[in-house]
């Protein structure tokens, strides 16, 4: 490709709204342009890099038995009503009507459509297992698109769906995806870790996210350096410090004027926060069939811990939570600032699993200015649900080995889910087993955001001068700069490099040498060749790898061999990162 003909231009400065390096550099280097909030066009350079990532993905999906298909981006809403997600998902699912007045949706994912295909195509156990995948456009109407391609509304996604007879088969395909995902990221030059995660709107019983660790990440992860355990904070567990065993004491009401916080209470009574029970009043949105209803949820955690709302949502099966109003709190017999599960009514009490094993806690008396000493679970109140609903924090003990956990930030670049029969049962996707019985197909769902992966590679692979693409993702192998006095040699070298099977970007523009050097650094191709009067006088062509500072002069007749050798080295180094990964269950 000649830069004089390239449909793109570099920018000296990034737009003000571009706040992170990948967003700034992809705009400045001419890889993409923004059309609307969270909606981007890929220019030729960006599209070539995106297609290279897709090639890597296809190779790894094919290697584990995947068959590529393509499913529509517009779905009849009836499928989403069958799964009930039409009613469960908020405005991020774009709903509309066609000219016939039929409800339709724009695809944010394809579990419903794949289930519809399965119920039409799968009849016998002899047709399973199977693995189908696509690389397709998705639309999610994100409330706050940000950071360029990191969080968008329209995006390209690889989604695959495993179909199995039973959970044992699902385990095999899930593990195969787990390794294949590491292969994809390593081949793309992006270091990631796998963490246990929330299943979210997808449902199912197990999920992992693949995280690129970076301070710009939206997700907080809890990681153990000792044993390698890692989990998203949304679901992260930890070993909770146990209180000393005590004999239960009689309950006692004490005056605690103007003491509406745990901090004030512990100072007044001179006790540790772990000796208190913290009350959190919430209203939960729940699904009853196709209707959304609100229920009062009274959550209780120990005073030395914080509530994890995602864990609570999962524990009660809610779609959303909001703080309860003062009037709603008083309606269940509680008092704001002095709340207690003792004596309340018309609410679902949910206690953290540390509460039943913590004796003689201090809790509110549901009376202004008073607290209760020696409140004990089981004697003084019962809960509808006992579950782990506390937030894991830095310094808490790893649930596996007990070592102190640390927090890091990350961007999710892929996820895998064990869906089980969540969708196949609702949509009637069954097979006939060897005994002639109909059984639901056991499913898994696996996604990678291709544009987000490109952005994260750019985030990880850049320096002060611009992008530094891995050889597998770079839009071209070689950036050939043609300077005055080197036109004939550059043109011939351009043809010879292409004849040798290399992708070459020739800067044949009528620009100053300094502009060409800056643009070459900005675009970030693996190898730069410079041909001009000075280089020829010095003995040939100036050679430079983008990831190194050194430059050298290579005789013209040795340039192709030099380029091939250096690119081979880059490929060898990249392939060395593709290794078997231990499974972080």
Q: How far apart are CA 355 and CA 387, in angstroms?
A: 10
Element (H, E) at 390: none
Q: How far apart are the first and last CA of the chain?
A: 46
Tokens coding 84: 């009930």
Residues 311 and 432 placed together within one structural domain of the fold:
no
Cβ(405)–Cβ(238) below 8 Å? yes
Q: How far apart are CA 457 and CA 380, in angstroms?
A: 56
Entry field: residues in the chain: 585
Please give the angle made by the CA atoms of 209, 212 and 215, to the nearest 5 degrees. Answer: 120
245 inside domain:
no
Cβ(75)–Cβ(65) below 8 Å? no
Domain end, chosen from 387, 421, 438, is at 387
pLDDT score of 241: 92
Residues 231 and 362 placed together within one structural domain of the fold:
no
Q: Which stretches within 143-270 are classed as H helix? A: 167-187, 262-269
Residues 448 and 473 placed together within one structural domain of the fold:
no
226 inside domain:
yes
525 inside domain:
yes
What is the domain range of residue 477? Answer: 464-575
Residues 71 and 216 placed together within one structural domain of the fold:
yes
Q: What is the DSSP string of 43-66?
A: PHHHHHHHHHHHHHHHHHHHHTT-
Domain end, chosen from 443, 459, 475, is at 459
pLDDT in tens, 529-549: 999 999 999 999 999 999 999
Residues 367 and 220 placed together within one structural domain of the fold:
no
Residues 101 and 218 placed together within one structural domain of the fold:
yes
Rounded alpha-carbon distances, angstroms, from residue 235 to 196, 227, 242, 568: 8, 18, 20, 43
Q: How far apart are CA 112 and CA 304, in angstroms?
A: 43
Residues 222 and 305 placed together within one structural domain of the fold:
no
Residues 225 and 320 placed together within one structural domain of the fold:
no
Cβ(523)–Cβ(479) below 8 Å? yes
Residues 419 and 477 placed together within one structural domain of the fold:
no
400 inside domain:
no
**Beta-bridge partner residues of 286:** 293
- Tokens 């008092």 identify what position? 335
394 inside domain:
no
Q: Which stretches within 461-584 are classed as H helix? A: 487-499, 513-523, 533-537, 559-575
| pLDDT beneath 70: ranges in the chain | 201
The whole-angstrom distance between residue 327's C-alpha and the CA centroid of its chain comes to 38
241 inside domain:
no
11 inside domain:
no
pLDDT score of 344: 96
pLDDT score of 130: 98
- Residue 554 falls in which region: left (phi positive, over 0), alpha (psi -120 to 50) or beta: beta
Domain end, chosen from 459, 481, 498, is at 459
315 inside domain:
yes
pLDDT in tens, 430-443: 999 999 999 999 99
Cβ(446)–Cβ(64) below 8 Å? no
pLDDT score of 518: 97
Cβ(411)–Cβ(322) below 8 Å? no
Rounded alpha-carbon distances, angstroms, from residue 149 to 33, 166, 416, 459: 11, 37, 20, 11
Count structural domains, the chain.
Answer: 3
pLDDT score of 350: 97
Q: Which among 155, 1, 34 is positioned nearest to 525, based on CA atoms?
A: 1
Q: Find the CATH number of the domain harbouring 293.
A: 3.90.960.10
Q: Find the CATH number of the domain harbouring 61.
A: 3.30.930.10
Does residue 251 sit in helix, strand or coil? coil
Q: How far apart are CA 302 and CA 195, in angstroms?
A: 26
Q: Which among 359, 583, 457, 435 is positioned nearest to 31, based on CA atoms?
A: 457
Rounded alpha-carbon distances, angstroms, from residue 176 to 58, 194, 582: 14, 14, 12
Residues 77 and 170 placed together within one structural domain of the fold:
yes
Residues 304 and 340 placed together within one structural domain of the fold:
yes
Q: How far apart are CA 544 and CA 524, in angstroms?
A: 11
Residues 42 and 190 placed together within one structural domain of the fold:
yes
Q: Find the CATH number of the domain harbouring 513.
A: 3.40.50.800
Q: How far apart are CA 411 and CA 214, in angstroms?
A: 7
237 Cβ neighbours under 8 A, 6+ residues apart: 231, 388, 392, 399
């Amino acid at each position: 490709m000649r830069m004089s003909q390239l449909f793109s231009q570099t920018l000296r400065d990034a737009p003000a709204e571009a706040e992170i390096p990948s967003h700034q550099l992809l705009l400045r280097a001419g890889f993409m342009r923004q059309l609307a909030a969270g909606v981007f066009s890929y220019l030729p350079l960006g599209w070539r890099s995106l297609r290279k990532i897709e090639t890597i993905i296809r190779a790894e999906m094919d290697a584990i038995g995947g068959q590529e298909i393509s499913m529509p981006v517009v779905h009849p809403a009836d499928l989403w009503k069958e799964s009930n997600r039409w009613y469960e998902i908020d405005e991020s699912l774009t709903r509309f009507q066609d000219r016939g007045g039929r409800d339709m949706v724009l695809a944010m994912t394809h579990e419903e459509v794949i289930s519809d295909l399965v119920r039409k195509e799968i009849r016998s156990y002899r047709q399973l297992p199977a693995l189908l995948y696509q690389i397709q456009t998705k639309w999610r109407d994100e409330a706050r698109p940000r950071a360029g391609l990191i969080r968008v509304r329209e995006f390209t996604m690889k989604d695959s769906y495993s179909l199995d007879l039973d959970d044992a088969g699902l385990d095999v395909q899930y593990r195969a995806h787990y390794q294949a995902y590491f292969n994809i990221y390593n081949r793309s030059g992006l270091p990631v870790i796998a963490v246990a995660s929330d299943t979210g709107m997808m449902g199912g019983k197990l999920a992992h996210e693949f995280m690129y660790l970076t301070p710009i990440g939206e997700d907080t992860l809890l990681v153990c350096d000792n044993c390698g355990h890692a989990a998203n904070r949304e679901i992260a567990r930890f070993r909770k410090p146990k209180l000393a065993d005590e004999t239960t004491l009689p309950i006692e009401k004490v005056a605690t004027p103007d003491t509406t916080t745990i901090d004030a209470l512990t100072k007044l009574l001179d006790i540790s926060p772990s000796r208190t029970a913290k009350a959190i009043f919430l209203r939960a949105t729940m699904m009853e069939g196709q209707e959304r209803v609100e229920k009062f949820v009274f959550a209780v955690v120990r005073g030395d811990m914080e509530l994890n709302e995602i864990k609570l949502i999962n524990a009660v099966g809610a779609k959303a939570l909001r703080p309860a109003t003062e009037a709603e709190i008083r309606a269940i017999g509680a008092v704001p600032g002095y709340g207690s599960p003792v004596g309340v009514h018309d609410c679902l009490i949910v206690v953290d699993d540390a509460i039943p094993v913590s004796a003689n806690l201090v809790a509110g008396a549901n009376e202004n200015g008073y607290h209760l000493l020696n409140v004990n679970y089981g004697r003084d109140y019962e809960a509808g649900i006992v579950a782990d609903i506390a937030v894991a924090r830095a310094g808490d003990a790893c649930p596996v080995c007990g070592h102190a956990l640390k927090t890091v930030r990350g961007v999710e670049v892929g996820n895998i889910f064990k869906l089980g029969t969540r969708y196949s049962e609702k949509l009637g996707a069954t097979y006939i087993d060897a005994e002639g019985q109909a059984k639901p197909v056991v499913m898994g769902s696996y996604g990678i955001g291709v544009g987000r992966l490109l952005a994260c590679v750019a985030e990880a692979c850049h320096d002060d001068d611009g992008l530094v693409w891995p050889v597998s993702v770079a839009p071209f192998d070689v950036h050939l700069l043609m300077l005055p006095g080197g036109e004939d040699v550059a043109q011939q070298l351009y043809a010879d490099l292409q004849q040798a099977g290399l992708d070459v970007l020739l800067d044949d523009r009528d620009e100053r040498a300094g502009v060409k050097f800056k643009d070459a650094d900005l675009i970030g191709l693996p190898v730069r060749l410079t041909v001009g009067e000075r280089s020829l006088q010095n003995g040939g062509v100036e050679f430079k790898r983008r990831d190194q500072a050194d430059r050298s002069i290579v005789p013209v007749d040795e340039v192709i061999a030099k380029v091939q050798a250096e690119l081979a080295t880059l490929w060898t180094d990249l392939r060395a990162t593709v290794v078997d990964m231990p499974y972080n269950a």
